[in-house]
């Protein structure tokens, strides 16, 4: 039997897979703890260092993350929606390792061509190393997600979050160098990968892949087919990452490292809302994918509408909190220097709330395995953000960067709603995104 002949109903599943509610609870807690720890890292940089260190760290992320996002080609999403089990985990992992090594080489080339000062160069490379380790945990998360075991993702994220903030804080305290802090961060994430993700992933593979009929032997043809399938999502995640960092590029060029540090610190404070959205999407994508592949359109629609309702409530709640206490919050968490820009923080939270709702629609599009349409969609989002930055950052500074983010988020919401409406109205249309028979 070829891989295309396996129906979604017959696709193997982990007999110990958890319910949607339990999965969401686990991944939400994991994401919240991880978000708090990531924020703790920025606080440590601001408290134990200065805004220049925050700016260098943010620049490292802005340079390294887009390259790694492209090299990832979002294999996790492809793996999590592979309800027919056309590819084994080893094939996903092998491709991820090769692509990550290539990405690190590209980042080194970018740094060399960019002629950054030696300290900034070292920070960028150290951040890239840490993010490279993170990509290997991410591919294990795809395995957990496919088998409805998001409790493993939640535990791993909590472990990585705690280790990261401890490692970075201790390194800053001992060395007062952001470079060493990033190196310690990479080592902490490597420990979590080897001691948790790899061990749990090996056990899950032993209990779930044994029921799958043998796959064809791995080879360049199968690897290339997988690359071609995932490439549109790789382009999408790269564009989305560039879009996320777009205001940082303009602020760094126009206003310098100091203002970039202030903007980045406030932007990181909205990560909690973003990660709640990711929790909802990641817990629902495997189930939505099975429903869509099985033609259960009414159930698919109900689940998507539930996600949208929850997303809207949480987004509005976060915006209400930011509107009421942002000056006090920024002053306590960072310093009075940041509280002066409380209006910028409120705008950033509004943008995060819009992105929150839009991400629910995007998860529905991904669940339907409509990958290619997302490329022009996110290209328009990034173009909208760039135009906003070019127009407003030179004139109104940090607030202009936040306004540009709102413009990009609104564009994403409108476009995602249009694509999802088309999918819901034409459930019987051909679905060319499934892997070809290999």
124-143 residue pLDDT tens: 999 999 999 999 999 999 88
Angle between helices 257-268 and 20-48 (to 10 degrees): 150
Domain count, the chain: 1
Residue with tokens 């056309």: 86
The Cβ-side half-sphere exposure at 392, using a 13 Å CA radius, reads 19
| Within a domain: 67 | yes
| Within a domain: 97 | yes
Is the pLDDT at 5 greater than 80? The verdict is: no
0.75 exceeded by the pTM?
A: no
Residue with tokens 């060319």: 432
- Element holding 416 (H helix, E strand): helix 398-425
Q: Give the pLDDT score at 218.
A: 63
Q: Give the pLDDT score at 23.
A: 83
Query: Greatest CA span in the chain, whole angstroms?
Result: 66
Q: Residue 217: which domain range?
A: 17-425
**Nearest Cα to 72, choosing from 236, 217, 268?**
236
Q: Please give the structure tokens belonging to residue 108.
A: 């080194």
Rounded to whole angstroms, the Cα distance separating 377 from 22 reads 32
Q: Give the pLDDT score at 428.
A: 43
| Within a domain: 139 | yes
**Nearest Cα to 71, choosing from 264, 237, 278, 291?**
237
| Within a domain: 212 | yes
Q: Give the pLDDT score at 433.
A: 42
Q: Please give the structure tokens belonging to residue 287.
A: 């189930």
Residue pLDDT, tens place only, 224-233: 888 888 888 8
Residue pLDDT, tens place only, 154-176: 899 999 999 999 999 999 888 88
Q: Give the pLDDT score at 236.
A: 86
Residue pLDDT, tens place only, 366-412: 888 888 889 999 999 999 999 999 999 999 989 999 999 999 999 99
Residue pLDDT, tens place only, 98-109: 999 999 999 999
Q: Give the pLDDT score at 213.
A: 54
Is the pLDDT at 24 greater than 90? The verdict is: no
Rounded to whole angstroms, the Cα distance separating 154 from 150 reads 6
Q: Give the pLDDT score at 430.
A: 42
| Within a domain: 328 | yes
Q: Give the pLDDT score at 208.
A: 65
Of the candidate ranges 209-223, 245-259, 278-292, 330-344, the one whose mean pLDDT is the lowest: 209-223
| Within a domain: 315 | yes
Q: Give the pLDDT score at 60.
A: 85
Is the pLDDT at 427 greater than 80? The verdict is: no
Using an 8 Å Cβ cutoff, are 194 and 66 in contact?
Answer: no
| Within a domain: 12 | no
């Amino acid at each position: 039997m070829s891989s295309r002949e396996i129906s979604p109903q017959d696709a193997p599943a982990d007999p110990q897979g958890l319910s949607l509610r339990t999965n969401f609870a686990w991944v939400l807690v994991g994401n919240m703890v991880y978000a708090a720890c990531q924020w703790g890292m920025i606080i440590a940089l601001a408290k134990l260092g200065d805004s220049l260190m925050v700016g260098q760290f943010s620049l490292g992320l802005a340079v390294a993350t887009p390259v790694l996002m492209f090299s990832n080609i979002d294999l996790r999403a492809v793996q999590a929606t592979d309800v027919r089990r056309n590819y084994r985990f080893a094939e996903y992992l092998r491709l991820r390792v090769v692509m990550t090594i290539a990405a690190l080489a590209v980042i080194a080339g970018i740094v060399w061509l960019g002629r950054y000062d030696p300290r900034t160069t070292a920070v960028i490379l150290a951040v890239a190393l840490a993010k490279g380790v993170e990509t290997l945990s991410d591919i294990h998360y795809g395995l957990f997600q496919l088998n409805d075991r998001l409790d493993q993702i939640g535990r791993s994220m909590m472990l990585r979050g705690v280790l990261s903030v401890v490692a970075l804080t201790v390194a800053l305290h001992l060395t007062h160098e952001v470079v060493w802090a990033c190196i310690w961060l990479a080592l902490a994430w490597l420990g979590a990968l080897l001691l948790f993700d790899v061990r749990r992933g090996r056990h899950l593979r032993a209990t779930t892949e044994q029921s799958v009929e043998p796959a064809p032997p791995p080879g360049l043809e199968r690897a290339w087919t997988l690359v071609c399938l995932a490439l549109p999502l790789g382009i999408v995640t790269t564009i989305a990452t560039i879009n996320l960092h777009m205001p940082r590029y303009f602020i760094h060029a126009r206003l310098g490292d100091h203002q970039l540090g202030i903007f980045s610190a406030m932007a990181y404070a909205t990560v909690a809302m973003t990660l709640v959205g990711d929790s909802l999407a990641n817990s629902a994508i495997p189930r939505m994918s099975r429903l869509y592949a099985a033609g259960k359109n009414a159930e698919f629609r109900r689940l998507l509408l539930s996600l949208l309702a929850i997303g809207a409530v949480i987004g509005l709640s976060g915006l209400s909190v930011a509107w009421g206490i942002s000056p006090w919050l920024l002053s306590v968490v960072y310093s009075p220097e940041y509280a002066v820009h409380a209006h910028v923080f409120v705008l950033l939270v509004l943008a995060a709330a819009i992105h929150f709702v839009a991400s629910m629609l995007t998860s529905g599009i991904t669940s339907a395995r409509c990958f290619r349409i997302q490329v022009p969609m996110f290209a328009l989002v990034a173009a909208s953000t760039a135009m906003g930055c070019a127009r407003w950052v030179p004139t109104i500074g940090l607030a202009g960067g936040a306004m540009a983010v709102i413009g990009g988020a609104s564009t994403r919401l409108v476009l995602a709603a249009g694509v999802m409406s088309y999918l819901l109205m034409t459930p019987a249309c051909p679905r060319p995104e499934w892997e070809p028979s290999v």
